[in-house]
Structure 1
Amino acid sequence: MSEYLPDPRLAQSALPLYDPVKAADFPQTVLRYRNDRAAASVGLNALSDEAWLNHFGRFQPLPGNQAEPLALRYHGHQFRHYNPDLGDGRGFLFAQLRDDKGRLLDLGTKGSGQTPWSRGGDGRLTLKGGVREVLATAMLEALGVPTSKSFSLIETGEALHRGDEPSPTRSAVLTRLSHSHLRFGTFERLAWLNDADTMRGLCDFIIANYHPTAQDIPGLFDAVVCANARLSARWMAAGFVHGVLNTDNMSMTGESFDYGPYRFLPWYQTGFTAAYFDHAGLYAYGRQPDTVLWNLGQLGRSLTLISDSEPLVAAFNTCPERYDSEFALAICARLNIVPLADNQPLLKSLFPLLGSLAYDGSFEGLFYDWFGGKLSASRAMAGPRAEHYTGDLFEAFRAALDAYDTADPSKLDHPRFAEPDPETLLIDEIEAIWADIAQSDDWSAFHAKLAAIEIYRQALNLQAE
């Protein structure tokens, strides 16, 4: 078990990036989920349920950590329109601590009450929103995507009214474990304020704590470009649609976080959108890499306050090539095959085939069936999707796949691969899990799904971090 090592670096930095706040006083605290695997990585898994509720439902400070929660200040582009009226409106930074690898991590919240940045909102989170985020982070981690980890979900006993779901609805507070809550929008705010001194201090802070190999500000930007090219490639390989890729939802550490109307693709569709309000399809599945690039451009523009633009532009211009490289690596990882010097024949055959398989579960199904490459041919052709593996598109894919060696044949010995179907997290599954909770307070399907995703994570062993 890792030792608990508090390290509240941001609170000790004196950078004007936050406002001290108080957590809401909830009518009740009912523990619905605690992530003991994540807790073990930061030395908190030995907490009793009562202590857990005190810290993550009532937000009593952790020993040696921040004396009070901090609501972070930031701006951002929302659907490419600049909004200077943002900031942590229903969350805060609760603590910072080291994990078992020595990395600085945040414990941040969602639904913990009003702050100076609540903009008239109630500062709360629906229980359904919390359930959805717990499921999203578990599935993304299983599929090898760098993501925050849902650390705790506690039901809080309030009736909330929302315009986009039946109301009143139940409330919750979520705590997430992540590398950093410092966002692109944190820099956009400082550029908007023309606060060069704070921006320099923030760059020094991020280099020291998250990107120590960066030598200067262009080097920091280069590291962030690289991390977010990798993130967007992993989203695409996982068939994940974030839904709201605003600059305030992009992290300086290249980690996915803050899940609203996300979706996993039922089948391959480049125009698939997750948010019902994304009428123009700006954040559609196939547009996510370009959106990340656009968001990186806003970060680079902000950094021109304290840096020459030429090296920033040079780093920015590497993003498409880095994305292409990371995407090829991500696809090979998802298929458990050793990348070649040229992976284009495989990619050019894979996606036409995926596009022809227009049935629920076919995106994840193909990667599951052919996990291990040609070593899985007999398993795939004896499975429930074998009837779809025929014709010219499939034969082109098989021919390309046959050029690859299996990366780790021992993974195929995991008993999970004896099962006929992959693990998925499609919208109908999420709605069915929520219906059991909403209608009869039955959490069995929720916990069963998390257990199944954990087995899938262990079987795939894709190393999200």
Structure 2
Amino acid sequence: MPEIHQTYAAELPELSTPWRADVPPRPELVWLDEELARELGLDPEWLRGEDGMALLTGQIEGTVAQAYAGHQFGTANPQLGDGRAVLLGEIVDARGKRRDLHLKGAGRTPFARGGDGKAPLGPMLREAVIGRWLHACGVPTTRALAVLTTGERIAPRQGVTDEPGALLVRVAASHLRVGTVEYASWHLGPEVTGRLVDHAIARHHPSADGPLGLLQAVSEAQAELVAQWMLLGFVHGVMNTDNMALSGEGIDYGPCAVLDVHRRGAVFSSIDRGGRYAYGNQPGIALWNLSRFAEALLPVIDEEPNTAVTRATAVLERFESRYLDAYADGLAAKLGVRGERGEVRELGEELFTLLEEQRVDHTGFFQELGGGTAAGLFAEPAPFEDWWRRWEALRGDGVSADEARAAVCRANPLYVPRNVHLEAALRAAHLGDTAPVLRTLDAVGSPFERREGLEDLEGPGDGGDAFMTFCGT
């Protein structure tokens, strides 16, 4: 058994409660990320054995359920927390970095808000696929170490048949959220909030100076994260403040999806009826969440409220420029161009408007651009030809079209978790056939490299724009 630490529970006992996961009757591994296991200093074969399975199912001492609050769809909820999950503890990985091990689907905890605390297999596999893909694309993210079935059948979240019960073992830089700070501020006051700030700084942003420095560091990390989401066409789907991690990693991939046709208003979540968390709204929602973070920090920023507001506002006002710079830098790589950031952003905005007007696939366009065949995607080619000439002008001196297209191919994933294909794979797993989802996990783990036998995963499939996800995680 590796050494499991509990520094979070020890330093901030007010923010968790000791809790043990339910004992699953017949646990079986569905998927194990062996590469991640080795990063953590864990032997994959040991994890498959009796002691390893005890760790993966939460049958160890010292586990806790975490408390947090949050704004959900814009409304404050003072009591959330790990309703069906436990923090197994922290492990120091092979590089000396502290990582959380967290178990979802572990049964009801004192923070449960109804239900049996169990999780169905499909959503646990969805989170594993999304985290693996984002990590392979270089995006900061939580990741799945393992997905297991429990041997139980649980009540359906959707549909009419019961579902296989499952566990997700998640690895994260930590599970500190904006909602964690909101909980401390709303319920426990400045003393605990101040200790939480110190803990977060030590864990994630050691160069930050106090709560204002933490606000700045988290704002910068989130600006860069959301810029990467936007460039990939990723829609998180439920950007509540309890789903914004202070580490800057993406977390909690429930009703998430990836664009097929480029649409600013794309919504794939069944519960987002007003489109609050639509694709194009994500940068603004990130700033909204950071504003709630700032409000929770005000009592520890300065004793004088107006001074605290002024200082926090000055930090928040820097978010937009940081986001735009990160977006422009990523867009330049994605398009294989050089130029001033403003020029690159203008080129990108013209492109995305064109993609939306002519209903062109987001991922497919960049693949065709890299192959030199993008013009064929447009029913009305003249606007694209105008854009192409501007693209050529920003390639840079001495850079040939072939070199620019090769750079585009290196910067854009070929395999993404397309909505139709992923849903079909998850449906098969529900019915007992895990081969399609294991194949998907393999494909998205190396998303830039074309491989024989995966041709059917390169395109969007039929019906992806009307696709809808459900919050099963």
Q: State if a TM-score over 0.5 links the two structures.
A: yes
SS class of match (1:348): helix
Shift in Å at residue 102 of structure 1? 2.9
The aligned residue for residue 160 of structure 1 is 154
1:113 partner amino acid: G
Q: Does 1:393 align with 2:383?
A: yes
1:349 partner amino acid: E
Report if the CA contact (8 A) 2:148-2:168 is conserved. yes
Shift in Å at residue 220 of structure 1? 0.8
Q: How does 1:127-138 map to 2 (within 5 A)?
A: 127-138=121-132
1:4–1:335 CA distance, 2 compared to 1 (3 A): farther
The aligned residue for residue 462 of structure 1 is none
Instruction: Provide the rounded CA distance (Å) in 2 between the counterparts of 1:274 and 1:445.
Output: 22
2:7 partner amino acid: R
Report if the CA contact (8 A) 1:4-1:42 is conserved. no
Percent of aligned pairs with the same amino acid: 30
Report if the CA contact (8 A) 2:178-2:245 is conserved. yes
Shift in Å at residue 434 of structure 1? 2.0
Instruction: Provide the rounded CA distance (Å) in 1 between the counterparts of 2:7 and 2:275.
Output: 39
The aligned residue for residue 373 of structure 1 is none
Residue 26 of structure 2, aligned match among 25, 28, 37 = 28
Report if the CA contact (8 A) 2:71-2:242 is conserved. yes
Deviations 1:86-126 (A, max 9, x none): 11101121121223443221111211111110123211110
Report if the CA contact (8 A) 1:7-1:104 is conserved. no
Residue 443 of structure 1, aligned match among 429, 434, 458 = 434
Q: Does 1:182 align with 2:172?
A: no
Residue 267 of structure 1, aligned match among 261, 285, 288 = 261
Shift in Å at residue 380 of structure 1? 2.5
Shift in Å at residue 52 of structure 1? 3.0
Report if the CA contact (8 A) 1:15-1:201 is conserved. no
2:322 partner amino acid: R
The aligned residue for residue 320 of structure 2 is 320
Deviations 1:165-207 (A, max 9, x none): 3331111000111111011011111221251111111111111
1:380–1:127 CA distance, 2 compared to 1 (3 A): same
The aligned residue for residue 465 of structure 2 is none
Instruction: Provide the rounded CA distance (Å) in 2 between the counterparts of 1:170 and 1:339.
Output: 52
SS class of match (1:139): helix
The aligned residue for residue 9 of structure 1 is 7
Q: How does 1:272-291 map to 2 (within 5 A)?
A: 272-291=266-285
Instruction: Provide the rounded CA distance (Å) in 1 between the counterparts of 2:395 and 2:379.
Output: 19
Q: Does 1:232 align with 2:231?
A: no
Shift in Å at residue 55 of structure 1? 1.2
1:364–1:192 CA distance, 2 compared to 1 (3 A): same
Report if the CA contact (8 A) 1:352-1:393 is conserved. no
Instruction: Provide the rounded CA distance (Å) in 2 between the counterparts of 1:444 and 1:93.
Output: 30
2:385 partner amino acid: E
1:173–1:336 CA distance, 2 compared to 1 (3 A): farther
Q: Does 1:223 align with 2:230?
A: no
The aligned residue for residue 468 of structure 2 is none
Shift in Å at residue 400 of structure 1? 3.0
SS class of match (1:92): strand
Instruction: Provide the rounded CA distance (Å) in 2 between the counterparts of 1:413 and 1:348.
Output: 20
Instruction: Provide the rounded CA distance (Å) in 1 between the counterparts of 2:13 and 2:390.
Output: 53
Q: Does 1:425 align with 2:417?
A: yes
1:366 partner amino acid: F
1:4–1:401 CA distance, 2 compared to 1 (3 A): farther
Report if the CA contact (8 A) 1:4-1:44 is conserved. yes
The aligned residue for residue 365 of structure 2 is 366
SS class of match (1:166): coil
Report if the CA contact (8 A) 1:34-1:153 is conserved. yes
Report if the CA contact (8 A) 2:329-2:341 is conserved. no
Instruction: Provide the rounded CA distance (Å) in 1 between the counterparts of 2:338 and 2:17.
Output: 48
Report if the CA contact (8 A) 2:136-2:445 is conserved. yes
Q: Does 1:43 align with 2:35?
A: no
1:353 partner amino acid: L
Instruction: Provide the rounded CA distance (Å) in 2 between the counterparts of 1:94 and 1:84.
Output: 24
Q: Does 1:334 align with 2:334?
A: yes
Consecutive unaligned residues in structure 2, runs of 5 or more: 303-307, 451-473
SS class of match (1:16): helix
Report if the CA contact (8 A) 2:238-2:254 is conserved. yes
Deviations 1:394-414 (A, max 9, x none): 123322322135799699499
Instruction: Provide the rounded CA distance (Å) in 2 between the counterparts of 1:320 and 1:413.
Output: 27
SS class of match (1:105): strand
Instruction: Provide the rounded CA distance (Å) in 1 between the counterparts of 2:184 and 2:53.
Output: 36
Report if the CA contact (8 A) 1:110-1:174 is conserved. yes
Instruction: Provide the rounded CA distance (Å) in 1 between the counterparts of 2:139 and 2:103.
Output: 21
Deviations 1:428-464 (A, max 9, x none): 112211232233x2222111112211221568xxxxx
Instruction: Provide the rounded CA distance (Å) in 1 between the counterparts of 2:147 and 2:405.
Output: 32
RMSD: 2.7
Instruction: Provide the rounded CA distance (Å) in 2 between the counterparts of 1:106 and 1:458.
Output: 30
The aligned residue for residue 60 of structure 1 is 59
User: Which shows bigger deviation, 295-304 or 101-110?
Assistant: 101-110
Instruction: Provide the rounded CA distance (Å) in 2 between the counterparts of 1:105 and 1:410.
Output: 38
The aligned residue for residue 464 of structure 2 is none
1:409–1:241 CA distance, 2 compared to 1 (3 A): same
Instruction: Provide the rounded CA distance (Å) in 2 between the counterparts of 1:249 and 1:257.
Output: 6
2:415 partner amino acid: E
Q: How does 1:241-256 map to 2 (within 5 A)?
A: 241-256=235-250
Residue 171 of structure 1, aligned match among 147, 165, 176 = 165
Instruction: Provide the rounded CA distance (Å) in 2 between the counterparts of 1:4 and 1:54.
Output: 12
Instruction: Provide the rounded CA distance (Å) in 1 between the counterparts of 2:313 and 2:250.
Output: 24
Consecutive unaligned residues in structure 1, runs of 5 or more: 62-66, 371-375, 460-465
The aligned residue for residue 298 of structure 2 is 304
2:151 partner amino acid: G
Report if the CA contact (8 A) 2:267-2:278 is conserved. yes
SS class of match (1:305): helix
2:352 partner amino acid: F
Q: How many residues align?
A: 436
Shift in Å at residue 145 of structure 1? 2.3
Shift in Å at residue 134 of structure 1? 1.2
Deviations 1:132-190 (A, max 9, x none): 11111122223332211111100011111134333311110001111110110111112
